[in-house]
Structures are given as C-alpha cells and as structure tokens.
Amino acid sequence: MKHVKPAILSLFASLLFLAPLSCAPSRDAAQVGDGSANTARSEKSPPASLAQDLSAPVSNLSTKLGELGFYVFETPQQVPRFSEIPALDTASTKDEALSADSFAGNITILNFWATWCPPCKQEMPSIEKLHQSLEGYNFRIAAVSVGEKTATVADFIKRSNYTFPIFLDEKGVLGGIMATQGIPTTYILDKNGMIIGGTVGAREYDSPAFISLMKESAGMQNQ
C-alpha cells in the first residue's frame, strides 16, 4: 500500500501523472506537443489546499483502497472551498448544486471528466454500474464536467443513457484546482467529507472487490 505524506504531495502528483490513460487538463492543452489526448502534459504539484489536515489516522477504508491500487493520503485532506457548481438537470440531480459542504454523510466518488476525453469515456460505463450497484447505500457519485457548455454535456449524457449525477464546472474553476494533472481525476471521500485517496487516469470501478468495499464502507441508508 502506498501512503503519501502531505509534505511530499508533489511525489503523489508525479506518480499519478504517470497514469497511462489520462487526458490533458483541458482540450487546448491536449493539442500541445504531439497532439495525443492519452497522456497529461505538465508535471504540477497538487493544490496546497489538499495538504491541510494532519491529525486524522489512516482508516480501514484507506488501507483497502491502497490494496486495490489507489494512492492514499497518510491523513485525510480537506476539500478546497469553492463556489457552488450547478447540476445537469436530471432525475438524480434536479435542483441540486455541488459545494464543499455536499459530501458529509456519504462515501463519495468525486470524478473530473470531459466529453472530449477518451479515457474519461472509457471508464464511464463502469461508473454507471457502480452507481446502480450502490443504490440505497450512503454513497454518491459526483461527476464534474470540466470546461464544457451545458448543451454539450447534456447531449452526451442523453446519448449515453448515464444516470449518475453530473455537475457542470463550465469555467473549469474547480477542475483547475483539483484536476491539474489531467483527466479523468478521481478522489474518494469518506463520510466526513474528507479526501482519503485518489487516482489519475481511467479505471474500472465495477470490479466486485471495489463494489464490495464501497458497500461495506457506506452502509445501507436508514440503518
């Protein structure tokens, strides 16, 4: 298992940066260099705002995430404060908005993506299966579209028949803080709304082991 001390978060960023299936942080950045959209473009340290809380111990969830290949923070990290991000108006997110206070009470998968990013689209069917498998649990997915217009995202989601919650970071403000290494970038948050681990690049989120861990950690609603 890989634990990452806040003092060396740049190492965490550099290792995640090596993920073979990720896109540059923006469409424009993806066109720099050799033109490939499958690798990130610049090595940047993660935001200092992810290196604030040094007190909490590593949880059992963190340990098991590490065993599944996620990078795990040695201590949970606070989500940076940000202005509310509107949801794409669907049955699962009607009249909802995303803020730093939205995460407490649930295990959360916070995913940053874009419609033009092939690795993002590659992993989305598994995110949909995860979403369906965790119905009725204290669990949520918040998939944040970075830097794209509502109409573009809405058309893609409609054609793809995805039902997990989508949020619209049209100006890329939150993505510019939390997805600087490329997309997809995904964080796992505990029930305290703290970031405990994450990854950059496409993954399969519907493996029996990962679904079982999410169910075990989230627990059924109303229990």
Higher pLDDT: 156 or 46? It is 156
pLDDT tens figures, 203-220: 999 999 999 999 999 999
- Answer whether residue 53 shows pLDDT above 80: no
Alpha-carbon dihedral of residues 184, 185, 189, 195, nearest 10 degrees? Answer: 180
The letter for the amino acid at 152 is T
pLDDT tens figures, 176-195: 999 988 999 999 999 999 99
Which domains does the chain carry? 3-31+49-218 (3.40.30.10)
Residues 6+ apart with CB under 8 A from 11: 4
pLDDT tier at 34, thresholds 50, 70, 90: very low
pLDDT tier at 96, thresholds 50, 70, 90: confident
Higher pLDDT: 50 or 95? It is 95
Q: What angle do CA 151, 157, 160 make, to 5 degrees?
A: 140
pLDDT tens figures, 81-92: 999 999 998 656
- Answer whether residue 63 shows pLDDT above 80: yes
Question: DSSP H helical segments within 42-193, as ranges?
Answer: 60-67, 118-133, 150-160, 175-178
